[in-house]
Structure 1
Amino acid sequence: CIHDTRIIMTFLLTATFILGAVIAGVYFFIKRIYSYWCRKGVEYIEPDFFYGNIKEMVHGKISTGGLFKKFYDDLKSRGLKYGGCYTFFSPVLILVDLDLIKNILLKDFDNFINRGMYYNEKMDPLSAHLFSLEDERWKNLRAKLTPTFTSGKLKMMFPTLVACSFGLEDVLSEYSVTQDAVDIKEVCSRYATDAIGSVAFGIDCKSLKNPDSEFRQWGRQMFKEGIKGIIKA
């Protein structure tokens, strides 16, 4: 009986030690992740455990754009040109200085091609776009798309964009008559859907005429926010 008790005690002590070691290891691992910007000598926004800096967004208290606007304002108020934050356990660089943003977008863009966004080419092909793809896939897609946006091609697109704008004018004219409140974001999104459909695919999406058209419904679905979409991203 004493022998069995010793075995049980030994087992419990060993299990407790292993569990404590695992917890300590996880703690220091996460602590090291959250010290990334500190080790790089970059000013950063203090993260919360597990969530990083996106706790409010995960709980639906603020939109993605609103949260990063908040980060931007925070860093700008400190007089910083750039700073860091964390989305869960991933470090994210936030740019504030306009000249720095311009250099990255125009000159050094090939060094900032991975944005850490969700994409799955097999299960969710629409997620594999230029803003989410990484490394060679991004380079290959960009090489294919770049010739589409030359000055000559853009001039050819202009009449199509103007034609779509007539529908926008009609919608706004209706609002001016009824005096109803205008959801300008929704109206502009419908115009953008029609413009992209016409220019890129030669399809009249009719989103301005019908707010619940199939293309507009898919557009809403792509940008619908929620906990599932946030975790996927």
Structure 2
Amino acid sequence: MFGRKKNEDYDEYNEKYASKYDDDYIAPSKEYRAECDHSHEQSYSNVNNVRECDHSHEQTYEDADYEQRSYDNYTSIESRFQPYLTANEHILWVGGHDKQSPAAKDDPTASRKGAVIGLIIGIILTTVGAVTCVLSLIGIVVIIISALCLSGVFDALYAITDIRVIMLQGGKVTNYHLRSLSNVRYISQQGNIGYVTFENNSMRGPNGAPYSCRIGKVHDPARVSRILSDAVRGANAPRNR
């Protein structure tokens, strides 16, 4: 790769080509930086300050704490599915939330807020409608539905494995085998939270169309949709004999 000339000093040769090797073969390390529209290179005008903006580009304790809590929540949900896995079955993704899941700090869900509002409205309707049977009945129905939402009856946990999609809801386990699934799609809403839909061809409605199923309250639904699509494609790939 390199060659020392006969008349070249050995120490100078080593220093010269060690520097060249560092430049050519050692890649610079990447830093955690916020997205900006300006350079963060050190300038000659101020050699002591490499950041020319009013925010830090280092990872903060809050960032690290959020990442740790996200990991803890993921592993907690993953452990809930372990008793249901078959031999050589591997989890590709888990998500969702139920009343046994650890509470997410500073992350109140819209559905829980809506349930509280619905409960308040139901109480008001029941009170105001004491003299009107219809309003009172509507208020009671709203209270019941809101209470069920707050209790977590409608919440569910989901897992995508290399064999199936597993749903845990209210102590009930539902399985959707990958070979029966098709037409995987996703809807992304505010805050990159949405849901993933797919069709279950092993179950058909009265009109003969496959049942549409949904994985709700998904963070980064585009990524989850890709994971499920790849898993379905892999499950349906021809096996080499």
Judge same fold: TM > 0.5, yes or no: no
TM bin (shorter chain): under 0.3
Higher helix share: 1
**TM-score normalised according to structure 1 size:** 0.25
The structure whose Rg is larger is 2
- Give the number of the structure whose residues are more often strand, by fraction: 2
Normalising by structure 2, we get a TM-score of 0.25
